[in-house]
């Protein structure tokens, strides 16, 4: 009897993640000439073009749920665009050719090229509300931490669950004026802060990964980044909650009209319903998650991470590319 392969035609399989790495590697490599050059739009444009070209060769039928923006403003990898060669599993896909365009332009750390994938129709489309308040921890936070609680209570509860002193806790927060009070509250609780210039997806992942110095990632960041982070968190067995944070009444109403819930705590399974999620990222510049692209004589070296929730695996991929092929 031949094996039943029907599920492979409808659900993303393990080979897909390794195919997607080619797209993030390409985007990261193409962004390198713009590192530290002060032109974030040029860096993003080069990465978008490279990612889109490679995605077109992948065996899947993807719909971009989270992309570069609306079609009129983003001619490539826009929300709703179909990607892949149309054969294979039907998927939702979230893309960010460079998470941290400002970091790339300034030559700072923690810029990534990344893709998240889930079964078709399972990613929350929160594109009508740009910001989301999030809290992310490792598995110790499940049933212990709640975004509705004061940050000090959450820090103390998580510290107890992890068997740590509060003074040894480190909380990652985007360094933004809107977080001034949150930062003060974290420090008043006795914990330390890790202020991020950008890239709260990497901050969230590092809060979940075992063995990092980050215990929790909190604060208001992009809603798309929240969905992408949820794909990674589910693969790592961690904890995430999010509450949409519309910037005004117009955006709030736009979210309601799109079917989103305001003042609602979105749990991980509401952000991404699928239990078969992938997260793939390649470093553009060096960071705590992966190393950035390096030119080593005739070789271009990339480092990537591949997470899959169904198998609970974390893979690191170091690849050497002949530089002559990229000229």
Asked if 160 and 205 sit in the same domain, the reply is yes
Domains: count for the chain:
2
**Do 47 and 154 form a contact (C-beta atoms < 8 A)?**
no
Helix, strand, coil shares of the chain, percent, nearest 5, are 35, 25, 35
Residues 260 and 239 in one domain: yes
* Chain segment 277-305, per-residue pLDDT in tens: 999 999 999 988 899 999 999 999 999 99
Q: Which two tokens stand for residue 129?
A: 């509300």
Asked if the structure places residue 126 within a domain, the reply is no
Structural domain contains residue 2:
no
| Residue 4 clears pLDDT 80, i.e. is over it | no
Pairing state between β 266-267 and 239-244:
antiparallel
CATH number for the domain harbouring residue 298: 3.30.540.10
Condensed to tens digits (0 to 9), the pLDDT of residues 145-182 reads 999 999 999 999 999 999 999 999 999 999 999 999 99
Q: Is 174 helix (H, G, I), strand (E, B) or coil?
A: strand
> Among all chains, which residue has been given the structure tokens 């974390």?
314
Kindly report the CATH number assigned to the domain that includes residue 236.
Answer: 3.40.190.90
Question: pLDDT digit string (tens) for 247-282?
Answer: 999 999 999 999 999 999 999 999 999 988 999 999
H or E segment to which residue 105 belongs: helix 101-106
Q: What is the pLDDT of residues 68-83, one digit of tens each?
A: 766 556 567 888 889 9
Binding-site members for substrate are: 99-101, 131, 176-178, 198-200, 222
Residue ranges making up the domain that contains 110: 16-120+277-325
- Residue 207 sits in the same domain as residue 221: yes
User: Is residue 2 very low, low, confident or very high in pLDDT (cuts 50, 70, 90)?
Assistant: very low
Q: Which residues are annotated as a binding site for Mn(2+)?
A: 44, 68, 96, 99, 225
Residues 256 and 290 in one domain: no
Largest alpha-carbon pair distance within the chain? 65
Assess whether 74 and 115 both reside in one domain.
yes
- Which residues contribute to the annotated binding site? 44, 68, 96, 99-101, 131, 176-178, 198-200, 222, 225
- Same domain as 159, residue 28: no
């Amino acid at each position: 009897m031949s094996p039943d392969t029907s599920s492979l035609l409808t659900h993303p399989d393990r080979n897909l993640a390794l195919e997607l790495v080619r797209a993030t590697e390409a985007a990261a490599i193409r962004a390198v000439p713009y590192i530290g050059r002060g032109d974030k739009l040029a860096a993003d444009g080069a990465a978008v073009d490279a990612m889109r070209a490679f995605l077109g060769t992948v065996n899947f039928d993807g719909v971009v749920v989270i992309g570069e923006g609306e079609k009129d403003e983003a001619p490539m990898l826009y929300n709703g665009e179909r990607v892949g060669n149309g054969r294979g599993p039907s998927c939702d896909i979230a893309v960010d050719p460079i998470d941290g365009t400002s970091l790339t332009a300034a030559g700072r750390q923690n810029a990534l090229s990344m893709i998240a994938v889930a079964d078709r129709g399972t990613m929350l489309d929160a594109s009508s509300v740009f910001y989301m308040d999030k809290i992310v921890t490792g598995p110790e936070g499940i049933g212990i931490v709640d975004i509705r609680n004061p940050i000090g209570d959450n820090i103390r509860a998580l510290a107890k669950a992890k068997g740590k002193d509060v003074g040894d806790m480190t909380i990652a927060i985007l360094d933004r004026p809107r977080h001034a009070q949150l930062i003060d509250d974290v420090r008043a609780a006795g914990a330390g802060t890790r202020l991020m210039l950008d890239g709260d997806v990497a901050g969230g992942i590092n809060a979940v990964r075992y063995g990092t110095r980050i215990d929790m990632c909190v604060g208001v960041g992009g809603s798309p980044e929240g969905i992408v982070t949820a794909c990674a968190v589910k693969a790592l067995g961690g904890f995430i909650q999010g509450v949409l944070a519309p910037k005004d009444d117009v955006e709030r109403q736009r979210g309601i009209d799109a079917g989103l819930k305001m003042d609602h705590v979105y749990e991980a399974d509401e952000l991404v319903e699928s239990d078969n999620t992938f997260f793939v990222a390649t470093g553009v510049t060096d960071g705590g998650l992966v190393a950035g692209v390096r030119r080593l004589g005739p070789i271009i070296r990339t480092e990537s991470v591949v997470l899959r929730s169904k198998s609970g695996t974390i893979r690191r991929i170091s690849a050497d590319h002949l530089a002559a092929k990229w000229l």
